[in-house]
């Protein structure tokens, strides 16, 4: 580590000792400049830094008026909106603890968090979340007040009110002195948030992160990402997840403009409107776009296919020089100008045409797809982290590290245990799990390093490579250790496959549950004259099964023989969070899936 990192880190913390203090410093600095935009009302609405500060103060004083104590937990149960960030900053401004709840959580899941964190006040967005909180409120020992961001929510009762009225009520109080007192006493080791893990193997755990933990993340992120006040970021991943949450704080730290995605189904429309320079994302977004492009290319005339290949080849020569600020030969510049006009700009414009760097995380990212977009002029790369310590390593605009998750960020130490587990330590690591001392102890090594639960390696060049989850490795009846993630990622690279689950623990071979991309499959069936009544009828059709057999074989052609899919079943219904098969971050709950589909799975192993 550079000797300057520690000194610069301490200087950064001195200027920014607390997230709420940092945000207020930016409010004073940027004034009338746009801080945020969202489209929850149907059109993009801007919020200036000055307005941001005004609304934070109003909400903070309203919370004080309702008796919120220092270190009290306050919940936010909402998709991404500007109001989410305003409520969050208001909670932090009174030295409260902000507790996000995934917008997609069920009543039962939200109720668990309310009771575990003892949440008395909850901010919500729409009718579904409001109704869920009303249901929780009936029997809760804690929940007493529900505040709705959206005026379209039908609220009732004295315990409910709208956010704009809540803010204005705060400005009518005499709580200015108390707000200033709390801000002046704010400390870096104050608990800032509880972020509940998604619970793939058990009940969720509340990760305790202090302001210093979060600010360490911002300091470390600032080295590989030189973002400034003229940049625009698209807030796409849920703010209830540490990845987007910390990235949004980083946008505030840098004075950049943050645009919020409240409806992920509208992402392609939003991207064209926002035209972001930066965003955080998951591989599935790019897998679908890649699949659409490459599938469409198969039916294009040979001349168009050749032009497309030529343009990408030009991009593969041009962009490494461009991103590393090296001299570009005149001939290559001319070729690139032609390639961009005829082909590359069309790909770039799908996501707004201004991409500087798009972070990708949360799952493996096929390096072939990564290179495809890189060669097309869309600079993106993987990062790796976890709620308990967040950003461990990142690819950067100058160093993509294809097939890896990049190199460790400043102040982060990473090692590989004798069992192959990645372990790390940093000032960003959590204080522990809320009310779970045993789970906290189990998460740390005896010398205080975080145990990731991920199998990985550090390459000779210093890149981090994640290969699997320790608890999710498939051990076949023949004793082979197989990565289900590797298989599932290969399968989902196919445009006709939406979800995939690799099966094979204690079995002789690997099988898979496959959820088709039904919109595309139905179009395929119509084009081929295949009649069907419903999805169930479609997935049982022998022609469709044969079609998927060919696509599965193609998608897994590069896997080892023991990793090949010997049998599969097409499912008529998608795996969902509501049915318990997925976590709020769309990770597979394998135990529940195995239990729910026991008969289906057993039918794929009749030969055993």
Predicted local confidence at residue 249, as pLDDT: 97
CATH code of residue 299: 3.40.50.12780
Three-state DSSP class for residue 377: coil
Full residue range of the structural domain in which residue 420 is found: 283-468
488 and 460 inside one domain: no
Does residue 523 sit in the same domain as residue 541?
A: yes
> What was the pLDDT predicted at 135?
96
Mean pLDDT of 368-390: 94
pLDDT in tens, 5-60: 889 999 999 999 999 999 999 999 999 999 999 999 999 999 999 999 999 999 99
Q: Are residues 418 and 388 in the same domain?
A: yes
| 487 and 464 in a common domain | no
134 found inside a domain: yes
CA distances from residue 310 to 98, 172, 313, 316 in whole angstroms, order as listed: 51, 65, 5, 10
What is the band of 133 on the pLDDT scale with cuts at 50, 70, 90?
very high
Same domain, yes or no: 65 and 41 = yes
Quick check: 131 pLDDT over 90? yes
pLDDT tens by residue, 209-263: 999 999 999 999 887 788 999 999 999 999 999 999 999 999 999 999 999 999 9
- Cα separation of 186 and 183, whole Å? 5
Is pLDDT of 481 > 80? no
pLDDT tier at 201, thresholds 50, 70, 90 = low
Domain boundary among 468, 500, 520: 468
Beta-carbon contacts of 418 under 8 Å, excluding residues fewer than 6 positions away, are: none
Query: Do 174 and 300 share a domain, yes or no?
Result: no
User: Is 151 inside a domain boundary?
Assistant: yes
Domain boundary among 126, 161, 186: 186
Report the range of poorest mean pLDDT among 199-213, 307-321, 521-535: 199-213
Helices 283-298 + 367-375 axis angle, to 10: 70
- With cut-offs at 50, 70 and 90, classify the pLDDT of residue 1: very low
- Residues 6 or more apart whose CB falls under 8 angstroms from that of 550 comprise none
Query: Domains in the chain: how many in total?
Result: 3
User: Which of these three, 186, 201, 234, is where a domain ends?
Assistant: 186
Rounded Cα distance, 517 and 548, in Å: 11
Report pLDDT for 604: 93
CATH number at residue 91: 3.40.50.980
Judgement on whether residues 445 and 541 belong to the same structural domain of the protein: no
Does 194 map to a domain?
no
Whether the predicted pLDDT of 200 surpasses 70: no
Q: Which two tokens stand for residue 190?
A: 């104050």
Mean pLDDT for 299-313 is 95
**Does the pLDDT value for residue 475 go beyond 90?**
no
Cβ 122 vs Cβ 148: under 8 Å: no
Cβ within 8 Å of residue 266, ≥6 positions away: none
Task: Evaluate if residue 3 carries a pLDDT over 60.
Answer: no
Q: Whole-number mean pLDDT of the chain?
A: 93
Going by C-alpha positions, the residue among 183, 182, 125 that lies closest to residue 155 is: 125
pLDDT for residue 339 is more than 50 = yes
pLDDT at 582 over 90: no
Q: How far apart are CA 379 and CA 447, in angstroms?
A: 38
Distance (Å, whole) CA 319 – CA 289: 20
Residue 71 and residue 170 in one domain: yes
Angle at 120 between CA 114 and CA 121, to 5 degrees: 100
Average pLDDT on 329-353 reads: 96
Q: Is 583 helix (H, G, I), strand (E, B) or coil?
A: coil
| pLDDT band, very low/low/confident/very high, at 607 (cuts 50, 70, 90) | low
Q: Is residue 209 part of a domain?
A: no
Asked, for residue 319, whether it belongs to a domain, the answer is yes
**pLDDT digits over 62-115, tens only?**
999 999 999 999 999 999 999 999 999 999 999 999 999 999 888 999 999 999
Does a structural domain hold residue 226?
no
Do 447 and 536 share a domain, yes or no? Answer: no
The total of other beta-carbon atoms located within 10 Å of residue 351's CB is 26
CA distances from 369 to 92, 233, 234 (A): 40, 22, 21
Say yes or no: 319 and 423 in one domain: yes
| Helix or strand (DSSP H, E) at 82 | helix 82-93
Residue in 527, 597, 514, 524 with CA at minimum distance from that of residue 555: 514
Q: DSSP class of residue 344?
A: I
The per-residue pLDDT for 102 is 93
Q: What CATH number is associated with residue 532?
A: 3.30.300.30
- Residue 79 resides in a domain: yes
Token digits of residue 191: 């608990």
Quick check: is 150 in a domain?
yes
Q: Tell me: do 303 and 398 sit in the same domain.
A: yes
Considering the domain architecture, whether residues 451 and 530 belong to the same structural domain is answered as no
pLDDT confidence of 2, banded at 50, 70, 90?
low
Residue (of 399, 577, 575, 601) closest to 498 by Cα position: 575
Nearest C-alpha neighbor of 372 from the set 338, 402, 340: 402
Q: What is the pLDDT of residues 537-557, one digit of tens each?
A: 999 999 999 999 999 999 999
Beta-bridge partners for 408 = 393
């Amino acid at each position: 580590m550079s000797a300057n990192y520690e000194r610069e880190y301490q200087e950064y913390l001195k200027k920014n000792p607390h997230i709420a203090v940092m945000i207020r410093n930016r409010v004073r600095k940027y004034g009338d400049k746009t801080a945020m935009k969202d489209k929850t009302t149907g059109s993009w609405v801007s919020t200036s830094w000055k307005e941001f500060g005004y609304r934070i103060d109003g909400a903070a004083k309203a919370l004080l008026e309702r008796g919120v104590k220092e270190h009290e937990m306050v919940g936010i149960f909402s998709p991404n909106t500007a109001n989410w960030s305003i409520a969050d900053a208001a909670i932090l401004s009174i030295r409260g603890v902000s507790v996000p709840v995934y917008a997609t959580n069920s009543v039962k899941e939200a109720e668990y968090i309310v009771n575990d964190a003892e949440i008395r006040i909850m901010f919500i967005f729409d009718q579904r979340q409001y109704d869920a909180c009303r249901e929780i409120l009936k029997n809760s020992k804690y929940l007493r007040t529900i505040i709705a961001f959206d005026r379209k929510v039908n609220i009732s009762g004295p315990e409910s009110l709208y956010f704009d009225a809540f803010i204005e009520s705060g400005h009518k109080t005499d709580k200015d002195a108390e707000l200033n007192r709390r801000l002046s006493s704010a400390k870096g080791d104050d608990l800032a948030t509880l972020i509940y893990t998604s619970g793939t193997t058990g009940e969720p755990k509340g990760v305790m992160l202090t302001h210093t933990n979060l600010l360490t993340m911002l300091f470390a992120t600032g080295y590989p990402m030189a973002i400034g006040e003229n940049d625009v970021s698209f807030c796409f991943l849920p703010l209830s997840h540490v990845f987007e949450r910390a990235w949004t704080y980083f946008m505030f730290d840098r004075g950049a403009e943050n645009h919020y995605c409240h409806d992920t189904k509208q992402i392609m429309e939003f991207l064209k409107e926002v035209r972001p320079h930066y965003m955080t994302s998951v591989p599935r977004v790019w897998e679908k776009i890649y699949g659409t492009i490459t599938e469409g290319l198969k039916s294009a005339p040979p001349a168009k296919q050749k032009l497309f290949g030529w343009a990408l080849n030009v991009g593969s020569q041009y962009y490494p020089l461009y991103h590393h600020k090296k001299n570009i030969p005149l001939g290559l510049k001319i070729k690139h100008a032609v390639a961009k006009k005829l082909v590359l700009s069309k790909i770039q414009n799908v996501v707004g045409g201004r991409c500087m760097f798009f972070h990708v995380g949360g799952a493996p990212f096929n390096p072939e797809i990564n290179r495809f977009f890189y060669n097309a002029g869309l600079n993106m790369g993987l990062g790796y982290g976890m709620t308990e310590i967040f950003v461990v390593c990142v690819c950067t605009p100058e160093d993509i590290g294809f097939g890896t998750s990049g190199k460790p960020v400043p102040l982060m130490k990473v090692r590989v245990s004798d069992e192959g587990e990645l372990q790390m330590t940093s000032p960003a690591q959590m204080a522990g799990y809320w009310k779970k001392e045993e789970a906290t102890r189990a998460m740390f090594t005896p010398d205080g390093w975080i145990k990731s639960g991920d199998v990985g390696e550090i390459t000779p060049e210093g890149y981090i490579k994640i290969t699997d989850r320790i608890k999710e490795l498939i051990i076949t009846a023949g004793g082979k250790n197989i990565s289900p993630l590797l298989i599932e990622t290969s399968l989902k690279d196919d445009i006709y496959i939406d979800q995939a689950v690799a099966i094979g623990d204690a079995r002789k071979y690997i099988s898979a549950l496959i959820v088709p991309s039904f919109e595309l499959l139905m179009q395929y069936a119509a084009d081929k004259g295949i009649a069907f009544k419903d999805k169930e009828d479609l997935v049982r059709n022998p022609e469709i099964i044969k079609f998927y057999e060919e696509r599965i074989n193609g998608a897994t052609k590069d896997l080892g023989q023991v990793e090949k899919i010997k049998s599969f079943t097409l499912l008529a219904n998608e795996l969902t969070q509501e049915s318990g098969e997925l976590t709020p971050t769309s990770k597979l709950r394998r135990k529940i899936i195995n239990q729910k589909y026991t008969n289906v799975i057993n039918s794929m192993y009749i030969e055993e």
